[in-house]
């Protein structure tokens, strides 16, 4: 052997050892620790590189090579289970284009020695779920054991945890319409997974626990990781709190008869599993030939984002069980099946910057600006870090190499930082830690984080450009100042065209500006002008509610208006004075104080007053001193001129109480047209009935 050949072999040998070491480490982190360190796409690339090297040097293949086994070792904390029928993997077709399906069909036809004139091969096309493979053993129709795949030969006994999964039957259904009963021994194989909505809700709960200071809590990397962690919990009570789901897709041991004697096709087997009580994915189809395989792959790819759970590809299986037996296996993979992948949903990239975005409700969210990377079928340049705690927990810093995930229509997020080498760790340590800014990056108002909250929020709700649409819609709603006809689409038009920048701009709108908007008729424009004019006369409590102060709902706004009587008194009140109001606690008091401490918010309030918005103010006497104090009213039917909310506001402003039901304690029932059962009950109880004019007279007399 020449010197160059020797040097090449030495280099190949070193590369082979390096690849095996990297894959062993990735397997351990993924299967044993439930803490993946590299994306699936990177793992597949390393695996293919190792396969190519071993193909060049067959004598270097050893039994402990990652290419010679299915997965990781069982956890020591669980009892070992030896699978009666090995849980083998299937070959992955890494060609994500249509040619991948064509290549599989061509291989099958070649192995079966079919001519071009022969009929198309029939396949079952299934989804490739992104979860944890499980073997469920039933004896006499009762679940007796559940085991993970493990290394394919030996798994882990996770029966107690699997019993907590509602979709997995503890006892099988007796299917009367089947020609055969449930086998005495039946091992069902499938995937435990977590739906995307369940995963997002779980992580949101975890973020709340972290924000509240609970120890040992963390968010989860992805639904697969969360599902695997739940299945491997030593405490079944913890597993029961994790929302897991299940799909069945095959069998292991079946006794006393083999599967081939019970069914002719794989689809018949799936139909039997469904009849016995197992969930089988609705998307599963019988298809014929390469063209229908391609059509299935394309259809699922186009609708993948609409699925409620993650998949990373589809699976093709020859439908005939007799043909499956003829095709057999190569190494540890069946010739009759293949997994056809889609573009990876996790990839590695670099963090170029960390910006802070302000949402329409004022929430501040740190967002990583990324070197563009193709993930899940799209090019991603931004990924959320959720909040300051999450950014710090993941310890993401500008310049880091990170794993980015995009699944379905979920906003892309940074999963973790890649620090697999000492030099990467050292460089990471030199970079600045992310800190949330003290002020809103859009308007400069104070950014506040309330006790027990995970999120920071901008306190300049009336002034902040990022919150304009939400602030206007809230102010104009029926229960606030009520500007009839000012809906989502019109507000969006006005804001996007920069006609309105702050709330007072609403009252500076003229007929001409409105009529010039697209699809705005003259009559509609005049109606808006009239509605704006009408809305200028309101009540203090409606105006307060309309300001959109965090935690100040209708009830709190009413309590504030009753207690203080005037807006200036509320705006200048200290936290201690605010705490004297019923329905106001420390968090609400601080929120009100913070809102009115912002000069921008005070300026908007003064401008609204200058535009003509007004209300009747008082001295803030207690309800006991008000004329209708101690009286309870019930409103029923439609009043001639007063709206239900207006009538309620006037009664409450005079110290009265408005109830939703009639009883002996009711003082008066105010009845309009089409009054129903409440009026009938009032008459039965002999209560005093008022019409609108009598109510207005009572309110006038007590002014």
Which residue, among 646, 631, 643, 635, has the nearest Cα to 676 in the 3D structure? 635
Which residue, among 272, 275, 223, 281, has the nearest Cα to 248 in the 3D structure? 281
CATH number belonging to the domain at 625-701, selected among 3.20.20.140, 3.40.50.2000, 3.40.50.10190, 3.40.47.10: 3.40.50.10190
Domain topology for 346-429: OB fold (Dihydrolipoamide Acetyltransferase, E2P) (2.40.50)
- 255-295 pLDDT per residue, tens: 988 888 889 999 999 999 988 889 999 999 999 999 999 99
Please confirm whether the linkage preceding 412 is cis (ω < 30° from 0): no
The pTM for the full model equals 0.54
User: Which stretch of 473-482, 638-647, 671-680, 693-702 has the lowest confidence by average pLDDT?
Assistant: 693-702
- 471-521 pLDDT per residue, tens: 888 999 988 999 999 988 898 888 888 888 888 999 998 888 888 888 888
Q: Does residue 128 carry a catalytic annotation?
A: yes
Instruction: Evaluate if residue 528 carries a pLDDT over 70.
Output: yes
625: how many CB neighbours lie within 10 A of its CB? 9
Class of domain 459-620: mainly alpha
User: Of the listed 21, 73, 110, 128, which one is catalytic?
Assistant: 128
Grade residue 68 by pLDDT with cuts at 50, 70 and 90. low
Mean pLDDT over residues 65-94, rounded?
A: 76
Secondary structure of residue 462 in the 3-state scheme: coil
- Among 205-219, 475-489, 641-655, the range with the most confident prediction by mean pLDDT is 475-489
Grade residue 702 by pLDDT with cuts at 50, 70 and 90. low
The predicted pLDDT at position 651 comes to: 86
Instruction: Evaluate if residue 377 carries a pLDDT over 80.
Output: no
Quick one: CA dihedral 342, 345, 350, 352, positive or negative?
A: positive
Spatial neighbors of 301 by CB under 8 A, at least 6 apart, are 342, 377
Domain topology for 3-68: Helix Hairpins (1.10.287)
Q: How far apart are CA 287 and CA 300, in angstroms?
A: 14
CATH number belonging to the domain at 91-341, selected among 3.30.470.30, 1.10.10.60, 2.120.10.30, 3.30.930.10: 3.30.470.30
The predicted pLDDT at position 460 comes to: 83
User: What secondary structure letter does DSSP report for 625?
Assistant: G
- 83-95 pLDDT per residue, tens: 999 998 888 887 8
Counting other chains too, the contacts that 99-102 makes at CB distance below 8 Å and 24 or more residues apart are: 100/297, 100/340, 100/341, 101/290, 101/293, 101/294, 101/297, 101/316, 101/340, 102/290, 102/293, 102/294
Q: How far apart are CA 379 and CA 371, in angstroms?
A: 10
Please report which helix (H) or strand (E) contains residue 6, including its range: helix 3-27
Instruction: Evaluate if residue 71 carries a pLDDT over 60.
Output: no
Mean pLDDT over residues 366-383, rounded?
A: 87
Q: How far apart are CA 210 and CA 305, in angstroms?
A: 30
- 235-260 pLDDT per residue, tens: 877 877 888 999 999 999 999 888 88
Grade residue 341 by pLDDT with cuts at 50, 70 and 90. confident
Q: For residues 436 and 408, is the Cβ–Cβ distance under 8 A?
A: no
582: how many CB neighbours lie within 10 A of its CB? 12
Domain-by-domain residue ranges, the chain?
A: 3-68, 91-341, 346-429, 459-620, 625-701
245: how many CB neighbours lie within 10 A of its CB? 21
Secondary structure of residue 177 in the 3-state scheme: coil
Q: For residues 12 and 58, is the Cβ–Cβ distance under 8 A?
A: no
- 435-448 pLDDT per residue, tens: 999 999 988 989 99
Averaged pLDDT score across all residues of the chain: 86
Identify the residue with better confidence: 8 or 383.
383
């Amino acid at each position: 052997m020449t010197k160059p050949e020797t040097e090449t072999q030495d280099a190949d040998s070193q590369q082979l050892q390096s690849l095996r070491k990297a894959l062993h480490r990735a397997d351990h982190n993924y299967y044993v620790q439930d803490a993946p360190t590299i994306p699936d796409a990177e793992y597949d690339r390393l695996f293919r590189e190792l396969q190519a090297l071993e193909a060049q040097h067959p004598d270097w293949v050893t039994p402990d090579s990652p290419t010679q086994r299915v997965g990781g070792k069982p956890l020591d904390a669980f009892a070992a289970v030896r699978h009666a029928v090995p849980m083998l993997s299937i070959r992955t077709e890494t060609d994500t284009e249509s040619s991948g399906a064509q290549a599989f069909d061509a291989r099958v036809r070649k192995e079966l020695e079919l001519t071009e004139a022969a009929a198309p091969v029939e396949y079952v096309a299934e989804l490739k779920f992104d979860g944890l493979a499980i073997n469920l053993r039933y004896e006499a129709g009762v679940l007796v054991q559940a085991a993970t795949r493990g290394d394919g030969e030996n798994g882990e006994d996770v029966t107690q945890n699997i019993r907590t999964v509602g979709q997995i039957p503890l006892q099988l259904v007796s299917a009367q319409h089947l020609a055969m009963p449930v086998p005495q021994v039946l091992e069902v194989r499938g995937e435990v997974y977590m739906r995307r909505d369940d995963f997002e809700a779980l992580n949101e709960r975890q973020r709340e626990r972290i924000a509240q200071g609970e120890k040992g809590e963390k968010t989860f990397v992805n639904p697969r990781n969360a599902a695997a962690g739940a299945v491997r919990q030593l405490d079944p009570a913890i597993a029961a709190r994790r929302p897991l789901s299940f799909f069945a897709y095959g069998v292991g041991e079946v006794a006393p008869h083999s599967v081939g004697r019970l069914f002719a096709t794989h689809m018949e087997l799936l139909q039997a599993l469904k009849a016995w009580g197992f969930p089988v994915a609705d998307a599963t189809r019988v298809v014929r030939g390469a063209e229908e395989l391609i059509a299935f792959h394309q259809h699922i790819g186009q609708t993948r984002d609409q699925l409620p759970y993650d998949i990373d590809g589809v699976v093709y299986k020859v439908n005939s069980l007799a043909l499956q037996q003829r095709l057999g296996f190569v190494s540890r993979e069946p010739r009759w099946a293949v997994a056809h992948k889609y573009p990876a949903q996790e990839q590695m990239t670099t963090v170029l910057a960390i910006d802070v975005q302000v949402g329409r409700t004022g929430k501040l969210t740190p967002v990583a600006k990324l070197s563009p990377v193709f993930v899940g079928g799209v090019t991603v340049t931004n990924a959320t870090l959720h909040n300051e705690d999450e950014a710090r927990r993941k310890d993401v810093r500008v310049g880091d190499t990170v794993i980015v995930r995009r699944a379905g229509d979920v906003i892309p997020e940074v999963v973790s930082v890649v620090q697999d080498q000492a030099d990467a760790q050292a460089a990471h340590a030199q970079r600045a830690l992310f800190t949330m800014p003290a002020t809103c990056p859009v308007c400069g108002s104070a950014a506040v984080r309330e006790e027990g909250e995970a999120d920071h929020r901008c306190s300049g709700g009336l002034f902040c450009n990022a919150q304009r649409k939400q602030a206007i819609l809230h102010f104009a709603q029926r229960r606030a100042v009520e500007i009839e006809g000012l809906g989502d689409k019109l507000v969006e038009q006005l804001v996007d065209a920069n006609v309105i920048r702050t709330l007072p701009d609403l009252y500076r709108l003229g007929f001409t500006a409105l009529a010039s908007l697209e699809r705005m008729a003259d009559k509609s424009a005049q109606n808006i002008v009239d509605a704006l004019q009408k809305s200028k006369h309101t009540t203090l409590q409606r105006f307060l509610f309309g300001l959109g102060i965090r935690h100040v709902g209708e009830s709190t706004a009413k309590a504030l208006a009753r207690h203080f009587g005037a807006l200036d008194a509320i705006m200048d009140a200290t936290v201690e004075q605010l705490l004297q109001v019923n329905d106001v606690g420390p968090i609400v008091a601080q929120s009100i104080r913070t809102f009115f401490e912002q000069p921008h918010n005070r300026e908007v309030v003064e401008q609204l007053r200058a535009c003509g918005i007004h209300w009747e103010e008082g001295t803030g006497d207690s309800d006991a001193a008000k004329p209708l104090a101690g009286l309870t009213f019930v409103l029923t039917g439609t009043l001639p001129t007063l709206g239900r909310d207006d009538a309620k506001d006037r009664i409450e402003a005079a110290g009265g109480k408005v109830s939703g039901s009639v009883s002996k304690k009711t003082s008066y029932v105010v009845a309009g047209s089409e009054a129903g059962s409440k009026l009938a009950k009032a008459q039965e109880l002999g209560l005093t009935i008022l019409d609108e004019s009598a109510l207005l007279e009572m309110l006038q007399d007590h002014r």
